Structure 1
């Protein structure tokens, strides 16, 4: 992944290593798919390659489809009203919502 991206940008392995703050052998291991390379190294390489947004998208909680699905599975089957004394106002004490004018001429034709 990083190898092709690095080559397209005409960046040497040494320049990528310097920008990511790691050694040249670490970049070589990263490009060879070594599982022992840290996620921090991959993240820094992505930033050097100008792909930091991809990393941010990966960490976006709102785009975590699996996490959202698991959260939705934990939703209760029912929502019940508490039997405790309600804090809602008594009928007739709340301000009435403003009503729309009855004359449609002010607003054009109704559909």
Structure 2
């Protein structure tokens, strides 16, 4: 059966996932870790590992992150949407800053509930 998620993803996202999967496979091979060993260490099936290495969008992000952890490459996962790397978001936030800040006018005794 064809994966319904795959057809709905934008092409750049599909390419990104394929590259991620290929990079994961290359990292595993550089470390000379057999696929069955990798799957056991990541607590996933060999089939799921094969899907990850193909960049299958139907595999959970948790499984991708676990495989990266097993490879010792999990640091990059935390940086994916890090606010310090969100240039557009930071620019938009800065646009909403007030141009000047006014101090509130001192309240009279009457406004404070005094005599």
TM range (shorter): 0.5 to 0.7
Higher helix share: 2
Provide the aligned length of Structure 1 versus Structure 2: 85
TM-score (norm. length: structure 2) = 0.64
Q: Which is greater in Rg? A: 1
Q: CA RMSD in A?
A: 1.9
1:2 aligns with 2:28: no
Q: Which residue of 2 aligns with 1:90?
A: none
Q: Secondary structure at the match of 1:58?
A: coil
- For the pair 1:14 / 2:36, whether they are aligned, the reply is yes
The two structures have a TM-score, normalised by structure 1, of 0.66
Q: Which runs of 5+ in 1 are unaligned?
A: 87-111
1:105 maps to none
1:55 aligns to what?
Answer: 77
Q: Indicate the SS of the match to 2:78.
A: helix
Q: List gaps (5 residues or longer) in structure 2.
A: 1-22, 108-115
Larger RCO, structure (CA 8 Å, separation 6 or more): 2
